[in-house]
Amino acid sequence: MIKPHGSDTLNPLFVYDAAKNEALQKAAADLPAIIVSSAAAANAVMLGAGYFNPLTGYMSKADALSVAKDMKTTAGLFWPTPVLNLVENAGNIKAGDRIALKDPNVSGHPVLAIMDVEAVESFSDEDMAMMTEKVYAPAAGEAHPGVDAFNSQGKVCLSGPIQVLNFSYFQSEFPDTFRTAVEIRNEIAERGWKKIVAFQTRNPMHLAHEELCHMAMDRLGCDGLVIHMLLGKLKKGDIPAPVRDAAIRKMVELYFPENSAMVTGYGFDMLYAGPREAVLHAVFRQNMGATHFIIGRDHAGVGDHYGAFDAQTIFDNEVPKDALDIEIFRADHTAWSKKLNKVVMMCEAPDHQKEDFILLSGTKVREMLGNGEAPPKEFSRPEVAKILIDYYQSEAANA
């Protein structure tokens, strides 16, 4: 199986030993505690689950600035985005303290992790601006949800190793879907897959997405597909994870051969960081055991902040050739061709005009679903459309 990023074996930070976990939970009651941001909580979950291998905790100021600027830590580890625990005010917390990190997203704020604080440092306005520009590269004058979320957390950086005690709400709310990198690697081994392609999604999958996955599997000669959906915080207007989950599971049940696809999810908040986030997504997928990763048009983008294929060209222009072992499957926009009577990558149909494809905007699709109208079968499977129609109509009824 493909090696994880940065080490020979996966090193998740979750405390699997039950007695040790319980002892740390009890000890946490006597420790100084802070309620972390949703972003820092998601980072803890990803560290615990092994997706952030080989990191051992939250980055220092120097590492974060180095990663933002050059995509590597001060020790030389390739990494595309800062992994931080930012707070508005550290209070009395100082280097050398052991503290409890409390979950902002679960009622009662249970302890999510224990942290050994190595440094308490502050970013300047210039530091924050540099990280924002390098990581998110927002278009001038346009709102960017990832930038807003990043800059709302504070400028004080708590760095150091952590021990993760639970997986927040992801394990309880998505018991059939949330999987750690460890669990996915184990299931890949059990299924006997050797060549695996991963597909990232934060949306339901329409017919074009489904066919793109089939294309990638066929062209790469893959044994299996891991559909890996984001289960964390999204921007307003995105479809909730339980609805996406139900729609994707129905699609796989009906339209994929047995033992060819796994439906899984991971606990992370969307960054909307376009190219940098695409590289981060590739790191996740290598750590979970995928050998290939689909990156399509405007991967992890938002609005008009990024070029259509920036998330692909970053692997050519900025990612060192030996940085990652996972390979990228580059995809164009896919759509139903009226001429060929099937879904194609638009770049592979040079004799087509725009009107030769069935193309619907997200706004138009939402409008149709909200009106109880299924999109054409060339755009969406009827069984998937039914789940989405029920969701939109229930939202309208409760508005």
- Please name each of the domains of the chain with its CATH number: 18-171 (3.10.400.10), 177-398 (3.40.50.620)
- Beta strands across the sheet bearing 357-358: 342-345, 334-337, 357-358
348 membership: H or E segment, kind and range? none
Give the pLDDT band (50/70/90) at residue 282: very high
Q: What is the residue whose two structure tokens read 């048009």? A: 297
> What digits encode the pLDDT tens for the residues 348-375?
999 999 999 999 888 898 889 989 999 9
> What digits encode the pLDDT tens for the residues 50-75?
999 999 999 999 999 999 999 999 99
pLDDT of 399 reads 67
CA distance 248 to 227: 9
Residue 380 has φ and ψ, to the nearest 5°, of: -145, 140
Which one, of 159, 152, 36, 163, lies nearest residue 95 by Cα?
159
Which one, of 154, 135, 88, 110, lies nearest residue 273 by Cα?
135
Torsion of CA 32, 37, 42, 48, to 10 degrees: -10
**What Å distances lie between residue 394 and 147, 295, 370, 371, 390, CA to CA?**
32, 33, 9, 11, 6
For 95-124, give the DSSP string.
TT-EEEEEPTTSTT--EEEEEE--EEEE--
> What digits encode the pLDDT tens for the residues 157-168?
999 999 999 999
**60 with 119: CB under 8 angstroms?**
yes
**101 with 36: CB under 8 angstroms?**
yes
Please provide the average confidence, as pLDDT, over all residues in the chain.
Answer: 95
Q: How many helices (H) and strands (E) does the chain have?
A: 13, 15
| Residues with active-site annotation | 202-203
Give the pLDDT band (50/70/90) at residue 203: confident
